[in-house]
């Protein structure tokens, strides 16, 4: 049920406690203490949060061991090593020692960067992930993937560093712009296609997603909370067994192969991450059918749900941009022997990793943008 508490034990021995509770931001100091943090903390937050209704809750944490917020002007374009270095400098200035910890409050870019800083500062200090966007609560906030981009591609540098605590406060999502909520819902839909039968507060995850998608997009907490928790529980089951993407964790890349290429080819400026994933899901479904993997009823059900995801960006690409997408695919981390590894669907809830030839990649990109 929403409002739950989940403890994940990884094969490496790492532990992550996940809290799903509207209003949890105000209890952040208490929650950090509950997992044994006693040293100096550093709360690194997206600077834009200090211009939202959550400003006072963040400033109030100065009276705890977290101290005054350290605001950072993060964006996809600033998701680079230089920003990680600046965060590390801020941790040093705060006086964080090996018994200290980092608290990352923001969207997926912020949690990736601050988590990476925590992984390398003093050769690693514990950290807490407090994702404040739907995209991050559904995906980036849990699982320990941290990192930054290179000019040649997204997330090509980083580290696996599990947060000791993840705090998902669905109330934080009510003040997001509608486009940001739709962006996050692409990750929710992805998870529902991967794990359709999971219980989601009394109904299947896929049924709930189909029923409540538009309500969640308007920011209704009672629609958002069970979807977020279902995503997190699915991802927890995966990453607890495959912490470093040696096997089934790759399934979480459904829709991301083309999605990442679209982002890179357009300079991370046109599409939100979720919009790119939504487009990537279209190409994934096309490839699944072209390979004869998925039956027509399942394909149509998945396609109808994916088609409901709203994409504000102009998806029309000129020829140089399309060439850039294909070049980005060729540099994808998952390329093996010139073939790109895609996650496809044999059925709803039955992903499979398939190596795809370059010409099929062209057709998948065309299907994504159609």
CB 118 within 8 A of CB 125: yes
Among the listed residues 187, 229, 243, 263, the single catalytic one is 187
Catalytic site includes residue 256: yes
- 161, 260, 282, 289: which is the annotated catalytic residue? 260
Q: Which of 65, 72, 235, 289 is catalytic?
A: 235
User: Would you tell me the crossing angle of helices 273-290 and 178-194 to the nearest 10 degrees?
Assistant: 30
Task: Tokens 């294909």: give the residue.
Answer: 326
Annotation marks residue 235 as catalytic: yes
Catalytic status, residue 260: yes
C-alpha 219/C-alpha 170 separation (Å) is: 9
Tell me if residue 273 is catalytic.
yes
**253 is an active site residue:** yes
To the query of whether residue 187 is one of the catalytic residues in this protein, the response is yes
Which one of the listed residues 161, 198, 208, 256 is annotated catalytic? 256
Classify strands 203-204 and 199-200 as parallel, antiparallel or unpaired: antiparallel
- Residues β-bridged to residue 15: 9
Q: Which residues contact 157 (CB under 8 A, 6 or more apart)?
A: 81, 147, 148, 149, 150
Residues in the chain: 370
* Residues whose CB is less than 8 angstroms from the CB of residue 306 and which lie 6 or more positions away in sequence, other chains included: 189, 278, 281, 282, 285
Annotation marks residue 155 as catalytic: no
Tokens 């040293």 -> residue: 39
Q: Annotated catalytic residue: which of 229, 243, 245, 263?
A: 245
Tokens of 13: 């021995």
User: Residues 6 or more apart from 191 whose CB is under 8 A from it?
Assistant: 138, 205, 230, 231, 234, 235
Q: Hey, which residues are catalytic here?
A: 123, 145, 187, 235, 245, 249, 253, 256, 260, 273
């Amino acid at each position: 049920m929403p409002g739950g508490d989940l403890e994940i034990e990884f094969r490496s021995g790492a532990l992550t406690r996940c809290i799903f509770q509207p209003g949890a931001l105000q209890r952040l100091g208490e929650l950090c203490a509950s997992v044994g943090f006693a040293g100096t903390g550093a709360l690194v937050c997206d600077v834009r949060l200090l211009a939202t209704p959550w400003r006072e809750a963040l400033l109030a944490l100065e009276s705890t061991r977290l101290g005054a917020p350290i605001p950072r002007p993060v964006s996809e374009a600033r998701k680079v090593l230089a920003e990680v270095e600046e965060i590390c400098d801020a941790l040093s200035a705060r006086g964080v020692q090996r018994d200290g910890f980092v608290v990352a409050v923001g969207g997926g870019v912020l949690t990736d960067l601050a988590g990476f800083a925590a992984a390398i500062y003093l050769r690693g200090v514990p950290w807490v992930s407090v994702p404040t966007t739907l995209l991050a609560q559904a995906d980036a906030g849990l699982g320990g993937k941290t990192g930054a981009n290179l000019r040649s591609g997204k997330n090509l540098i980083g580290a696996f560093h599990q947060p000791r605590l993840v705090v998902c406060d669905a109330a934080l999502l009510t003040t997001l712009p509608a486009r940001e909520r739709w962006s996050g819902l692409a990750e929710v839909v992805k998870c529902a296609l991967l794990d359709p039968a999971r219980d989601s507060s009394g109904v299947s995850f896929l049924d709930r997603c189909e029923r409540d998608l538009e309500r969640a997009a308007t920011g209704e907490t009672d629609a958002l909370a069970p979807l977020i928790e279902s995503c997190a529980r699915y991802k927890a089951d995966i990453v607890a067994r495959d912490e470093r993407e040696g096997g089934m964790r790759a399934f979480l890349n459904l829709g991301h192969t083309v999605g990442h290429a679209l982002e890179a080819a357009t300079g991370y400026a046109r599409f939100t991450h979720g919009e790119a994933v939504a487009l990537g899901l279209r190409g994934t479904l096309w490839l699944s059918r072209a390979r004869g993997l998925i039956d027509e009823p399942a394909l149509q059900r998945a396609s109808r749900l994916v088609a409901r995801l709203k994409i504000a960006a102009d998806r029309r690409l000129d020829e140089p941009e399309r060439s850039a997408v294909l070049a980005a695919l060729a540099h994808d981390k998952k390329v093996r022997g010139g073939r790109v590894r895609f996650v496809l669907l044999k059925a709803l809830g039955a992903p499979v990793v398939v190596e795809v030839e370059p010409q099929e990649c062209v057709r998948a990109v065309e299907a994504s943008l159609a």
